[in-house]
Amino acid sequence: DAKTTQPPSMDCAEGRAANLPCNHSTISGNEYVYWYRQIHSQGPQYIIHGLKNNETNEMASLIITEDRKSSTLILPHATLRDTAVYYCILRSAGNNRKLIWGLGTSLAVNP
């Protein structure tokens, strides 16, 4: 599976949109982009995933560039409870087990 690159940390004001970037320039055609987040001392929580189309659910939106080499997770109205480490992960359709976890982005939402 290809690797991802994320900034180590970001800040966001409460109530504003948080835009978390992820670079995956070596992504292959059958790899999906997954986003999880981990609040301190808890298990990771699934947020969203996509292949090439933009996706939206009740938690966030995922924007994937046309060349699929990068993506952005958008939290439209960040709250203090969104403070967490956000992981961008690639996963291929043919590989059930393999999630390669990087260091993620530590997002701090400030009042």
Q: Which residues bind another protein (CB under 8 A)?
A: 32, 34, 36, 41-46, 49, 87, 91, 93, 96-104
Nearer to another protein, 45 or 54 (CB): 45
Question: Least CB distance from residue 47 to another protein, whole Å?
Answer: 9
H/E/C letters for each residue in the chain? CCCCECCCEEEEECCCCEEEEEECCCCCCCEEEEEEEECCCCCCEEEEEECCCCEECCCCEEEECCCCCEEEEEECCCCHHHCEEEEEEEEECCCCCCCCCCCCEEEEEEC
Question: Least CB distance from residue 88 to another protein, whole Å?
Answer: 11
Nearer to another protein, 41 or 53 (CB): 41
Nearer to another protein, 53 or 96 (CB): 96
Question: Least CB distance from residue 30 to another protein, whole Å?
Answer: 10
Question: Least CB distance from residue 45 to another protein, whole Å?
Answer: 7
